[in-house]
Structure 1
């Protein structure tokens, strides 16, 4: 059995090298390995002495995974984690291939794994998580996941595969109903995190959570659920978290209520996993010192100015990012890729924080132009080639703020980062 794992690992590593020589990371090696050894993920991660923590949700998975990894590392554990975006079975397998030794050994103590909800049941069955956190149910990737009710059903089935503590967003109507049901029917260990009413009331669009119409009809949305970690203040990147009875102030690497919520979730699931060995002071210090996950409010210095990358992969992600602005951005580029199958959701976004756009880019730049016309937001020009568009900003006058804000969909974000010299691509780049 051990020999077969070694052989499959060697083949997978060879495929990874070949894929990188062809120009970047790839999930293909993981796909091949899983065909040859369907239980590869289970066999590899069974070596982790302290088990696995999984992170799920419509949005915020990558940021929360990064935060949990930082917290767990600060507690002294060696952490295996999957690169941002490598959250499907083949991506997880490819990440494992990058971490296994040539003899098939996984030299880590614990795993922190981001999991795609559509494949969560299968992946969690293999990982046997000791703890898991579910962040939110939002309207996201409608072409793939359809209605929020369907995603909630996925989370219900995934929860059955998590043996240990389940950490849930108290303010999410779907997750609240799930947790209440698991507690009542199965006596499950559920821990809640959430946002204080005063903070939610000050947030223009709240957490942009999907509505659970069944729960609303039954009158079970507003249920008292005691939280372990609560966001008490969110002002830009300045955050106050109440952990049980104590308050902690910290500065996150990216602004916005959504990042504060992710920080609360990260602390809650880390404490659930570590128990008495958990130190909240260590966790807060780790959160205050870590870098932003790339493409998610990331700041890149180019010459005498900053480039800020804001991701718009769905209505929820864009709205939360726009709501996180503390001032109107004075130099904006927006880019949409042809791979965004149905960008009509953009018409539901509140773009009022944007007063002017310098350049529209990507294959669907014309679509963006039409959306801005309806919103009454002026734009200066269009340039479908995003690399040329970004360079035109960098060659132009330095904005008063010293910062160019690039609002990009997923594929255009990858292209821009690569153009700016950041080649740590997602989904198996390690």
Structure 2
């Protein structure tokens, strides 16, 4: 009980002083009462989890809104997806005597955390969005991530909702033959050919080691694939999605088609919505509940999020090559001329290793988007500027400005002078400071996106000091 009380006291104090309180209450409670997580988790009647590299926060938010259309739900809404963050969400729903007031939960779970929490949560449905290289200094090789996800799912009796367009996720499904597995995927009309050689994960079959043959790609290694040696092939999806701006059409095997509002932009967000719809249907939710959930959905911070600055700015999270590529593809599809501000930090939550910048396809910028300028900011502003130089952007278009607020200010000034929209791309610890500053710069008469500028960062989202540590320069 002491751990419970300490955790709830920390939660109350942090909320009282305007902190976001996403992880620290759970961390303190676990330190004092290691069994508290199991004690609270076993009171749940139903739990759905979402894991994977990209799209966890958005998919979980959509799925929780679908459940909330019919009943109250516990949800780690701000993406604190390790054990202490999940426990904090449980603490919010617990009384001072340790009794949960809500018995249904939808949790985002970090891939490496899944094996830790899976034995304690009554997981009935588990979603895997995709598997990409992410934070090599933390996760190591991609094989490690695949193994951890497989181990975590093996410790549940859940129905698995898996992205069949991802050969790595398909391998996870084949490794868990005793589970009920359903696949979701996009209609092949969204495939595009390989136009140039880019770094892709999942180029080889994890069953026999031979190369995979692709007949087209959606993004990253997601596509229509088959092994050149064994019988490993893309599965037929139980839930097939067709995306158009503002709508997602879902064809569930054996049932009439469904159409839902899509309150986010980009093919990668359509994948997130498709995953949530599939999980909701497997959980027994009606099409009406799903539609009401999507209608009430507010995109998480930094997912093609507009701000009413002058000119208009759009904020996006980037954290690994595949996610960055999908964001660039979505921006390329947006109308009008564009300017960019790319904010790269290398704090613990971002991953210390920024070599992923060289695997991301920033060649999209000169080849497809042709931005009026690109301001590089954050702790690794100079590294980003060097990457842009080698991507082929003209030197005159590359503007390194160390820091976050100075970089945004410089980018907004240039965008206003050139009459273009501004797209801000930020790594994790740069995202929240960027959102606050964009809110301050927004026109007060026009309003802003749904972001509370008064909230302070908690211990997991430290403000980034306006310093670039890289000795390299774009000059010369």
The correspondence for 1:387, drawn from 386, 405, 409, is: 405
Match of 2:105 in 1: 111
Separation of aligned partners in 1, 2:380 and 2:96: 45
5 Å-filtered alignment, 1:213-232, equals: 213-215=205-207, 217=210, 219-223=230-234, 225-232=235-242
Instruction: Output one character per residue of 1:180-232: Cα deviation in whole Å (capped at 9) or x when no partner.
Output: 3423xx3x211111122221236979996533433353524315x34221122
Match of 1:123 in 2: 117
Match of 2:358 in 1: 347
Match of 2:327 in 1: 321
TM-score (norm 1): 0.87
Separation of aligned partners in 2, 1:203 and 1:105: 54
Match of 2:61 in 1: 66
Instruction: With a CA cutoff of 8 Å and minimum separation of 6, indicate the structure with the bigger relative contact order.
Output: 1
TM-score (norm 2): 0.79
Query: Which range moves more in the overlay, 59-68 or 198-207?
Result: 198-207
Higher percent of residues as helix: 1
Change (3 A) 1:81 1:207: farther
The unaligned stretches of length 5 or more in structure 2 are 211-228, 440-452, 462-476
Shift of 1:63: 0.7
5 Å-filtered alignment, 1:270-281, equals: 270-274=280-284, 278-281=285-288
Q: What is the root-mean-square deviation of aligned Cα atoms in Å?
A: 2.8
Shift of 1:84: 2.7
Separation of aligned partners in 1, 2:200 and 2:271: 12
Change (3 A) 1:399 1:160: farther
Q: Does the CA contact (< 8 Å) of 1:57 and 1:136 recur in 2?
A: yes
5 Å-filtered alignment, 1:172-321, equals: 172-183=166-177, 186=178, 188-201=179-192, 210-215=202-207, 217=210, 219-223=230-234, 225-232=235-242, 234-244=243-253, 245-274=255-284, 278-302=285-309, 304-321=310-327
Query: Which range moves more in the overlay, 128-137 or 348-357?
Result: 348-357
Shift of 1:125: 1.1
Q: Does the CA contact (< 8 Å) of 1:39 and 1:126 recur in 2?
A: no
Separation of aligned partners in 1, 2:89 and 2:388: 40
Separation of aligned partners in 1, 2:327 and 2:109: 22
Match of 1:42 in 2: 38
Separation of aligned partners in 1, 2:272 and 2:416: 33
Q: Does the CA contact (< 8 Å) of 1:84 and 1:427 recur in 2?
A: no
Instruction: Output one character per residue of 1:33-75: Cα deviation in whole Å (capped at 9) or x when no partner.
Output: 11222222222133333x110101011110110010111112x
Separation of aligned partners in 1, 2:391 and 2:199: 23
Separation of aligned partners in 1, 2:329 and 2:132: 16
The correspondence for 2:147, drawn from 135, 139, 153, is: 153
Shift of 1:289: 4.2
**Pairs aligned (count):** 413
Separation of aligned partners in 1, 2:125 and 2:59: 14
Q: Does the CA contact (< 8 Å) of 1:308 and 1:405 recur in 2?
A: yes
